[in-house]
Structure formats: structure tokens, C-alpha cells
């Protein structure tokens, strides 16, 4: 039983590693493509990858008609609305700042989980949330204790937080009905369909340089295979075992991994504030997973 528990937590951490580096890969692709085109192609890659895996290993499940509405709602939240907010948020902030704001999701999710799913939090869960939140705030400050993010970027990324909470509620319901692979496959297909008209519209306002394939193909394929396919499947699995409140605390690890990957890949500076914030985020995550009296 304990071994299975470790697998659940490992799935959560690996998903965060992929989503942490996704901010770096997205920033690289945005040099050639606009956010909507990037997300659409990312979902195309993920759908092809998942379809091949599911049918090659005969893991596909039959989707009941009465559940299509729930799938459509989940896909509307993520990937559609979430990626729109994240994409244009990243256009106005750095990868580290963007991931730090997205990491605020665990602070909002427990409230929604308590209202809609009747989930309970222990005192240690709450302490972990607070410590992680402080760590995220520290990462957003410069040496003069001033926020370094653009207001426009913060506004878009705040939309990510709200949308992610709605997705969390829909995902919990879906994990009780279908396997994680099926859920991820369906949300990618429906999300891809949502994005088709968006791509057509946005290409008129912000044309992409599709011809420069060599400049974006590697990070784009990585986004599709690792971030939109593998990470979401691992995340759905962790959700099904941990619940919305405890699973979402793992998103506090996103800015930690983003800071590390940004430093090594695109050479973004790793300041003392960011290092302290990383330590606090990890401590908060440890506290949040400890058992204690229910609050």
C-alpha cells in the first residue's frame, strides 16, 4: 500500500517537472508562433501521441453519451480557457513569474473543493498551503521587495487560476468514471476542436512564422508529448488518489522547476529571493501532505 502511495506522489512530482519546463518551451515557441497557434499544434501532437498509445495497447474505453457534456466542460476549462490565459500571460511576463502566479491555484482550490466536493483539510494541510504561498510571493519580489511582474501579465495569469479551479472540480468527477488516459485523450481532442476557430481569428491579428519549423519544432513536440499528454495523464491519476485539495498543492512545485530550467536553458537569473522561495515552497508541500487533525 505504501509503495502505491509513493507512486501517486511520484506521478504528481513528474507532472510538475513537465509543467515547470513547459513555461520555458512555450517561451521558445512564442518566438515564431502566436499563443493560439502554439496551443493548437501542441494539442494536435498530444492527440496523435495518445491515440497511438491507447489503440496500440488496447487501452481505449467507450465514452458514454451522458458524460460528453462533462468532458466538454472540463476541456473548456483546460486546455481551452486555461491555455489562452497562460499563453498571453507568458507573452507579458517571464517564465518564472508566470509559473509562480499559476502556483497560487492550491490556495483557491480547497475552498471550491470544500463547497462542491465536501473535502476536508487538516491543520497541517493549511500550514503547508500558507508556507508554500509565502514561498511563491518571495519568488515574485526583487531585492527591493518590489513586484516585478507586469499588471497585464498578472491579469491573464489570474484567469488561469480561476479556470484551473473549475477544471479541478470537473476532473474529480471524471476520475470516478474513466481512467486517466481516457480523460486526457478526450480533453485534448475536444480542446483541439475548440481552438480551430481561435487559430483562424488570431492569425489575422498576430500572424505566425510557420515556415521557420526548425526554430520551434523540438519544444513544440515536447509540449505536446510531455506536457499536454504525459503530464495530464499523471495528474489525473494523482487527482483520483489524493483529491483536489491535496493534489493541487503539488502545483506549488511548478515555479521551482521553472526557475531551475529557466536558469539552465534560457539563462534567466536565479536570485537569492528565488532560492529562498523555492525552499519555502518545498517545505510547504511536505507540510501539506502530513496527517493531522481535520480543520
Quick: pLDDT tens for 237-280: 988 888 776 777 787 788 788 888 888 888 877 788 878 887 88
DSSP state, residue 178: S
Quick: pLDDT tens for 131-155: 877 887 787 776 665 666 677 887 8
Block residue for cell numbers 506549488: 252
Q: What is the pLDDT of residue 292?
A: 53
Could you give the CA distance from residue 109 to residue 99 in angstroms, rounded to a whole number? Answer: 17
pTM: 0.77
CA dihedral 117, 119, 125, 126 (to 10 degrees): 70
Report domain extents, the chain. 2-288
Q: What is the pLDDT of residue 142?
A: 66
Q: Give the chain's residues under pLDDT 50.
A: 1, 293-295
Mean pLDDT of the chain: 84
Could you give the CA distance from residue 192 to residue 195 in angstroms, rounded to a whole number? Answer: 5
Q: What is the pLDDT of residue 164?
A: 85
User: DSSP string spanning 191-240?
Assistant: HHHHHHHHHHHHHHHS---TT-HHHHHHHHHHIIIIIIIIHHHHHHHHHH
Amino acid at each position: 500500500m505504501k509503495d502505491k502511495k509513493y507512486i501517486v506522489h511520484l506521478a504528481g512530482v513528474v507532472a510538475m517537472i513537465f509543467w515547470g519546463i513547459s513555461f520555458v518551451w512555450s517561451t521558445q515557441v512564442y518566438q515564431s508562433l502566436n499563443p493560439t497557434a502554439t496551443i493548437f499544434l501542441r494539442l494536435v501532437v498530444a492527440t496523435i501521441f495518445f491515440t497511438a498509445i491507447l489503440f496500440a495497447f488496447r487501452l481505449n474505453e467507450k465514452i458514454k453519451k451522458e458524460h460528453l457534456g462533462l468532458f466538454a466542460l472540463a476541456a473548456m476549462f483546460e486546455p481551452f480557457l486555461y491555455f489562452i490565459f497562460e499563453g498571453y500571460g507568458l507573452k507579458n511576463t517571464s517564465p518564472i513569474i508566470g509559473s509562480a502566479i499559476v502556483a497560487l491555484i492550491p490556495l483557491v482550490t480547497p475552498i471550491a473543493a470544500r463547497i462542491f466536493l465536501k473535502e476536508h483539510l487538516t491543520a497541517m494541510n493549511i500550514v503547508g498551503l500558507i508556507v508554500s504561498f509565502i514561498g511563491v510571493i518571495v519568488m515574485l519580489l526583487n531585492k527591493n521587495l518590489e513586484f516585478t511582474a507586469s499588471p497585464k501579465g498578472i491579469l491573464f495569469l489570474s484567469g488561469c487560476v480561476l479556470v484551473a479551479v473549475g477544471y479541478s472540480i470537473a476532473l474529480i468527477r471524471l476520475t470516478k468514471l474513466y481512467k486517466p488516459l481516457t480523460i486526457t485523450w478526450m480533453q485534448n481532442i475536444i480542446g483541439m476542436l475548440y481552438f480551430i476557430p481561435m487559430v483562424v481569428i488570431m492569425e489575422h491579428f498576430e500572424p505566425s512564422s510557420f515556415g521557420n519549423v526548425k526554430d520551434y519544432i523540438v519544444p513544440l513536440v515536447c509540449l505536446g508529448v510531455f506536457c499536454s499528454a504525459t503530464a495530464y495523464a499523471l495528474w489525473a491519476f494523482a487527482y483520483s488518489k489524493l483529491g483536489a485539495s491535496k493534489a493541487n498543492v503539488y502545483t506549488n512545485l511548478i515555479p521551482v522547476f521553472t526557475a531551475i530550467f529557466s536558469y539552465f536553458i534560457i539563462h534567466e537569473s536565479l536570485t537569492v529571493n528565488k532560492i529562498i522561495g523555492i525552499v519555502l515552497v518545498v517545505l510547504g508541500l511536505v507540510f501539506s501532505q502530513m496527517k493531522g487533525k481535520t480543520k
